[in-house]
Amino acid sequence: MHKHIRPQPGIMDIALYQGGSSRIAGRDDVVKLSSNENPFGAGDLARQAYMRAGHDLHRYPATDHSGLRSALGAHFGLDAARIICGAGSDEIISFLCQAYAGPGDEVLYSQHGFLMYRISALAAGATPIAAPECDRTTDVDALLAQCSPRTRLVFVANPNNPTGTMIPLSEIERLAAGLPKQALLVLDGAYAEYAPDYDGGAALVDARDNVVMTRTFSKLFGLGGLRVGWGYGPQHVIDVLARVRGPFNLSNVQMDVAEAALGDAAHIARSISENARMRDWLADKLNALGVATDASLANFVLARFRDADQAAACNAALLAEGLIVRQVASYGLPEALRITIGDEAACRRVAHVIGAFIDGQGGA
């Protein structure tokens, strides 16, 4: 750190976020299964909208995001006036921390929660607090027990990343109802579309004044590289977030392509059904090998090995065959690998390599 020119307290406590890697030197058959991306990519309608958007690159985008917000409102049955859009849901998470938490305040999340909660809390000068989980699942009682007069934000991803586990809406309701008066519950629904019959908590947002939902186009919609996410909340929260949001935080390209993706029912349906089919197939294969997984409601599985060494050795075996998965020691899970559900060919390669690896080890 510089002797005189120093950042705000907390900033240097942030460990740089490591994105999932995508390349292995000297190989052209690499499959990236480390960032929970849609194996089918963006849908045709999104790609076409992207080409069309090239004609208007000289125009400033709409500051009010009204086209995309209306499309989201219509698609998900929400009040468009209470939607805010950002450069990925990461930006919405950052707006929330910036607006509601500062020095002396606490931002609460669960033990194996998404790394951006801690990063955004520290960036805002607030104190991140992790509550224990129970069998890699969000524990509402543990979260409530960690609440204090300083708690301002509580983040819960449901389904969670990197565990894939989910808690029922009744538990989320109990959490929202039990929070101290000054605390806002943020339901991160990055994987909500993969969970059958789950609205991401939208109805709870409508029913209460202390719940916000965040969503993204990065996972199911196959637009991680485009950077579009959004939040849905009570009017008082949206009014606050609108003040910290830059007026041109999303480009025309981002908004047009995201809107087109919402209308691609065929791509959405295929992505959901293929993910469920191959996720259950891969989990069965792993379990048959003695590699445990939790029931995942998302587009990845968390494979648990004997210990950290075995997980690292399996990761090396996968890399040697061109398969990049995610080591999750930074999430407090050194004995596990998070494997994004690829297409059928990719899942078969993964199962084959892990099978051979476990055989060579004489068991899981």
Ligand X SMILES: *Cc1c(COP(=O)(O)O)cnc(C)c1O
Kindly list the residues in this chain that would bind ligand X in the complex (CB under 6 A): 36, 88-90, 114, 157, 161, 188, 190, 216, 218-219, 224, 229
Q: Shortest distance, CB of residue 106 to ligand X, whole angstroms?
A: 20
**298, 164 Cβ separation under 8 angstroms:** yes
Cβ of residue 276: shortest distance to ligand X, in angstroms?
A: 18
The three-state secondary structure class of 5 is coil
Amino acid at 42: A
Query: Within a 10 A sphere around the Cβ of 20, how many other Cβ atoms?
Result: 17
Q: Is the dihedral of CA 321, 326, 332, 336 positive or negative?
A: negative
Q: Rg (Cα) of the chain, in Å, rounded?
A: 21
Q: Give the Cα separation of 213 and 323 in Å (integer).
A: 33
Q: What is the C-alpha to C-alpha distance for residues 347 and 219, in angstroms, rounded to an integer?
A: 18
Nearest-approach distance from CB 363 to ligand X, in angstroms:
32
Q: What is the DSSP string of 259-323?
A: HHHHT-HHHHHHHHHHHHHHHHHHHHHHHHTT-EE----SSEEEEE-SSHHHHHHHHHHHHHTTE
Residue nearest to ligand X (CB): 88
Q: Which CB, 20 or 102, lies closer to ligand X? A: 20
The answer to whether 258 touches 247, Cβ cutoff 8 Å, is no
CB of 195 to ligand X, least distance (A): 13
Which residue lies nearer to ligand X by CB, 85 or 351? 85
Contacts 24+ apart (CB under 8 A), 128-134: 133/163
Tokens of 309: 């060494």
Q: Which two tokens stand for residue 21?
A: 């890697």
Nearer to ligand X, 258 or 291 (CB): 258
Q: Smallest distance from the beta carbon of 216 to ligand X, in angstroms? A: 3
* 305 CB-near residues (< 8 Å, 6+ apart): 291, 311, 314, 335, 336, 337, 364
* Residue 53 amino acid letter: A
